[in-house]
Structures are given as structure tokens and as C-alpha cells.
């Protein structure tokens, strides 16, 4: 079905290599995403540790994000957007999946107002290490589908923001 601004239903990436290559920004030599990285992420995806959320309009990949999960920790690696708000839609879907699966930690790497709006907070290194140690020892399974759940409602209930 259609979501906000005409985005098609956002699902767990079936072809995360396509999302990786799209996020690599072709023609930008400073990109860290090269073929060996794509191969490694593809293997992690096959093993159930690398995940992507892809946003499409009329079947065309317009944005998304990907990262790696270890236990109940998710490490966001990159977001991309070729259409306005596509990465925001992907973030809402990611956070909803992590909440439903019982993830304890989402490592965003860098704080932005965009991430803060989703409930991200900066924490001291010692607190991060303690959360990480707890999270990686907790078994969980990444939610590939939301099964009828409304992602915005899930995130809003968790962050208590509007």
C-alpha cells in the first residue's frame, strides 16, 4: 500500500546490494562503499546480520538505510535519499522494527536533529559500552515485516514525541 507522500510499503531489503550501491553515491571517490564492502555486507545479509530498509516510489528505489545487528544492538551504517523524506520514512520503519523486536541499542554514529526527533540521545562512552555489553548478549530477531502495525504509532509511543 501507499504511505506518506506516495512511498510504497517499505520492506526489509530483499536486495541489500542494490541499496548499498545506491547509497554509495556513484561518482564520489570519497565513498567508503566499494565492491569488497558490498560483497561483505551481502554475506552478512545472507547470514541475517545486515539489514536494509528500502523506500520506493513506483518501484524505483528512492531512499533507505542499512546497518548491522549483533544481538539486540543495531549499528546504523548509512542512509540515503533521492527523494524528499525518503530517509525519514526508512528511519521510522527501522525504529519501529527495532522496538517490536526488543532491541536495546541503536548506534546512530552521529547525532543530528533528524535523529534526535526519533528519540536518539547522546550518551557518555562508559554508558555506551555498558549498553553495548548488555545488548550484544541478548538474542533477538530483526523484524522483517511490521505485520499491520503502524510504524509512526510505534515510534511515537516509544519516544513520547509528536
> Which domains are assigned to the chain?
4-159 (3.40.630.70)
State how far the Cα of 69 lies from the Cα of 141, in Å rounded to an integer: 9
* pTM summary value: 0.77
Q: Which of 113, 106, 111, 100 is nearest to 68 (CA)?
A: 106
State how far the Cα of 94 lies from the Cα of 63, in Å rounded to an integer: 13
- Over the stretch 79-129, which tens digit does the pLDDT of each residue have? 888 999 898 889 888 988 999 899 999 998 888 887 887 778 899 999 999
Model confidence at 7: pLDDT above 60: no
- Over the stretch 138-154, which tens digit does the pLDDT of each residue have? 999 887 777 677 777 77
Q: What is the pLDDT of residue 30?
A: 52
Model confidence at 16: pLDDT above 50: yes
Backbone angles phi, psi at 75, to 5 degrees: -110, 105
State how far the Cα of 153 lies from the Cα of 102, in Å rounded to an integer: 16
DSSP label at residue 28: -
Model confidence at 4: pLDDT above 80: no
State how far the Cα of 56 lies from the Cα of 4, in Å rounded to an integer: 12
Could you write out the DSSP letters of every residue in 54-123? EEEETTEEEEEEEEEEETTEEEEEEEEESSTTHHHHHHHHHHHHHHHHT--EEE-SS--HHHHTTT----
Model confidence at 13: pLDDT above 80: no
- Over the stretch 19-62, which tens digit does the pLDDT of each residue have? 555 554 555 455 556 788 888 888 988 888 999 898 889 888 89
Mean pLDDT, rounded, for 150-159: 74
Amino acid at each position: 500500500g501507499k504511505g506518506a507522500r506516495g512511498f510504497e510499503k517499505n520492506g526489509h531489503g530483499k536486495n541489500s546490494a542494490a541499496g548499498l550501491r545506491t547509497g554509495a553515491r556513484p561518482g564520489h571517490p570519497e565513498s567508503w562503499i566499494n565492491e569488497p564492502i558490498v560483497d561483505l555486507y551481502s554475506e552478512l545479509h545472507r547470514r541475517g546480520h545486515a539489514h536494509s530498509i528500502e523506500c520506493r516510489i513506483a518501484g524505483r528505489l528512492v531512499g533507505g538505510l542499512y546497518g548491522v545487528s549483533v544481538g539486540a544492538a543495531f549499528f546504523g551504517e548509512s542512509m540515503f535519499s533521492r527523494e524528499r523524506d525518503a530517509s525519514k520514512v526508512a528511519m521510522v520503519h527501522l525504529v519501529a522494527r527495532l522496538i517490536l523486536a526488543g532491541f536495546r541499542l541503536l548506534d546512530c554514529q552521529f547525532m543530528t536533529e533528524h535523529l534526535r526527533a526519533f528519540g536518539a540521545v547522546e550518551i557518555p562512552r562508559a554508558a555506551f559500552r555498558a549498553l553495548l555489553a548488555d545488548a550484544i548478549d541478548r538474542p533477538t530477531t530483526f523484524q522483517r515485516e511490521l505485520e499491520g502495525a503502524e510504524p509512526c504509532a510505534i515510534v511515537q509511543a516509544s519516544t513520547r514525541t509528536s
